[in-house]
Amino acid sequence: MTLLNTFKLFIYSFFFLGLMACGSKASSSSKTDSKVATVDTATPKTTTPASKPATASKKVTISGKDMTVKPGEEFCVDVQVSNFIDVISMQYSTNFDSKVLEFVGVKNSSLKDLSTKLNGSNFARAKGEVNTLRLSWFVQDLKGISLYDGSTIYQVCFKAIGKSGTVTEVDFAEKPMTGEIGNSKYQPMPAEFGAAKITIE
């Protein structure tokens, strides 16, 4: 089950229980009140037309800043976003060549409710995965977040263990964890996952 489907199930359950409670109150009230007002149930002649589907919006982009580093150097890649508008959730993978880059950690989160602790609530590495970092995040108050293009939401850090002259990538991808970004209406948003090119001098 994806992150957005989990949200929808939670919201639907909440409203269903609320409707059941309201129905129960209405039923008990009708038994005790002998005078019931007459309600006009006629269907209005005019109805509001259904809203048209939104036109194709710009893709939310997750990418990294290209860097040139020295052999043995520890460095951090800025993870940047564009068209990040009314977002409440996202999940994707960060892939890299573990023979060239050694994962060090995540730091400097600027996104609400995003913890940088590995194997905590947001970032994790599955057993046996040495070249992947998984991210699953949602804002807890479910209020959409909008950021300026080029905003850095966190940094992912590595040590350059490859040979001098090596060029590699830190790839933000839709696998092994399914890539998904959702808005405050619990709808999936078009997304594009990029990469940061890392050059070892």
pLDDT classification of 3: cutoffs 50, 70, 90 = low
Bigger pLDDT: 7 or 194?
194
In this predicted structure, what is the pLDDT of residue 26? 40
In this predicted structure, what is the pLDDT of residue 90? 97
14-70, pLDDT tens digit by residue?
333 333 334 444 444 444 443 333 334 343 343 333 333 333 468 999 999 999 999
Report how far apart, in Å, the C-alpha atoms of 99 and of each of 28, 131, 162, 169 are: 69, 9, 7, 12
70-99, pLDDT tens digit by residue?
999 999 999 999 999 999 999 999 999 999
In this predicted structure, what is the pLDDT of residue 200? 98
In this predicted structure, what is the pLDDT of residue 6? 53
Domains in the chain with CATH codes: 60-200 (2.60.40.680)
In this predicted structure, what is the pLDDT of residue 57? 62
143-175, pLDDT tens digit by residue?
999 999 999 999 999 999 999 999 999 999 999
Number of other CB atoms surrounding residue 47 within 10 Å = 7
Averaged pLDDT, 168-195: 96
106-143, pLDDT tens digit by residue?
999 999 999 999 999 999 998 888 999 999 999 999 99
Closest of 155, 192, 176, 175 to residue 67, by C-alpha: 155
